[in-house]
């Protein structure tokens, strides 16, 4: 049986596919980390005419080596670079023994938080108001309050709602069971708007560039920053609850 295309030695993977291969062993790896390693000259993925990275199987193994040396042996990038240079020239790197305890993998897991890929996915789901009420299991009154406080709104120019509105409505129903009403949820909307504004500010030059490659890189970065901001927010809430 032939190997799947994503594992074929000749396959060229995008950065999202590379993350899927690496995360089982390196849960904390992120797009920004891979970009940084590329900037340091440790990996050199191919580029499409539009500027998107394409990684070979050799690139993925090279990343595994770098991440393993950092995680398990705390080697600086300069030393790792020397090892890679030796490997590139057919030599063997020096033997390495771990001399200090390592952080358990479970301590760095994302606890099921959304990945950058989840922020990049788009859904074609369109539901009517009546369908939204039924599927989310909410009342007309609750939906009216969610709309009043800007938590849910129809798609621009239509009377239909998308999958995000459905998730918000269903989550609001579950929070209401604990006594949290839509007026209490305005703080979540305000915080989300601030995070969106920060991302827009950081990525504005790339998004408004005339270079398709720059725009593509800005969209890649947007999904990564979004996932990191959610991780940070969730971890700060968890830490705060433990201290309270």
- Sorted by where each begins, the domain ranges of the chain are 5-109, 120-243
Report pLDDT for 59: 94
Say how far apart CA 115 and CA 201 lie, in whole Å.
Answer: 22
pLDDT at 95 over 50: yes
Tokens of 11: 């396959």
Which of the pair, 101 or 141, is modelled with greater confidence?
A: 141
Render 69-80 in DSSP notation, one character per residue.
HHHHH---HHHH
Convert 153-172 into a string of H (helix), E (strand) and C (coil). CCCCCCCCECHHHHHHHHHH
DSSP letter at 184? G
Fold: same for 5-109 and 120-243? yes
Phi, psi of 54 (to 5 degrees): -130, 120
Phi, psi of 53 (to 5 degrees): -75, 140
pTM of the model: 0.57
Render 114-150 in DSSP notation, one character per residue.
PPHHHHH------B-HHHHHHHHT--HHHHHHHHHTT
Tokens of 1: 């049986």
Query: What SS3 class is residue 110?
Result: coil
pLDDT at 99 over 60: no
Digit-coded pLDDT (tens) for 32-72: 999 999 999 999 999 998 888 999 999 999 999 999 999 88
Say how far apart CA 126 and CA 212 lie, in whole Å.
Answer: 30
Digit-coded pLDDT (tens) for 141-190: 999 999 999 999 999 999 999 999 999 999 999 999 999 999 999 999 99
Render 39-64 in DSSP notation, one character per residue.
HTTS---EE-TT--EEB-HHHHHHHH
pLDDT at 136 over 90: yes
Contact 17, 34 (CB under 8 A): no
- How is domain 120-243 classified at the CATH fold level? Multidrug-efflux Transporter Regulator; Chain: A; Domain 2 (1.10.1660)
pLDDT at 109 over 70: no
User: Half-sphere exposure of 16 toward its Cβ, with a 13 Å CA cutoff?
Assistant: 15
Confidence of residue 84 (pLDDT cuts 50, 70, 90): very high
Contact 153, 191 (CB under 8 A): no
Digit-coded pLDDT (tens) for 18-28: 999 999 999 88
Class of domain 5-109: mainly alpha
């Amino acid at each position: 049986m032939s190997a799947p295309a994503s594992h074929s030695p000749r396959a060229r993977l995008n950065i999202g596919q590379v993350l899927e291969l690496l995360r089982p062993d390196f849960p904390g790896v992120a797009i920004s980390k891979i970009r940084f390693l590329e900037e340091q000259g440790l990996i050199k993925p191919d580029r499409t005419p539009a500027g998107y990275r394409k990684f070979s199987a050799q690139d993925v193994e090279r990343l595994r080596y770098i991440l393993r040396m950092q995680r398990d042996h705390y080697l600086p990038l300069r030393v790792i670079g020397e090892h890679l240079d030796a490997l590139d020239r057919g030599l063997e790197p020096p033997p390495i023994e771990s001399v200090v305890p390592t952080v358990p993998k479970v301590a760095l897991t994302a606890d099921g938080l959304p990945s950058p890929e989840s922020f990049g996915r788009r859904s074609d789901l369109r539901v009517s108001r009546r369908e939204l009420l039924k599927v989310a299991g909410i009342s007309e009154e609750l939906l009216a309050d969610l709309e009043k406080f800007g938590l849910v709104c129809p798609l621009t120019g239509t009377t239909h709602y998308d999958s995000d509105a459905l998730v918000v409505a269903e989550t609001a129903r579950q929070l209401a069971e604990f006594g949290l009403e839509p007026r209490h949820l305005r703080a979540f909307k305000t915080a989300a708007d601030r995070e969106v504004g920060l991302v827009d500010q950081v990525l504005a030059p790339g998004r408004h560039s005339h270079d398709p490659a720059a725009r593509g890189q800005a969209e890649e970065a947007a999904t990564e920053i979004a996932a990191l901001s959610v991780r940070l927010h969730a971890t700060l809430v968890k830490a705060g609850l433990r201290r309270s």
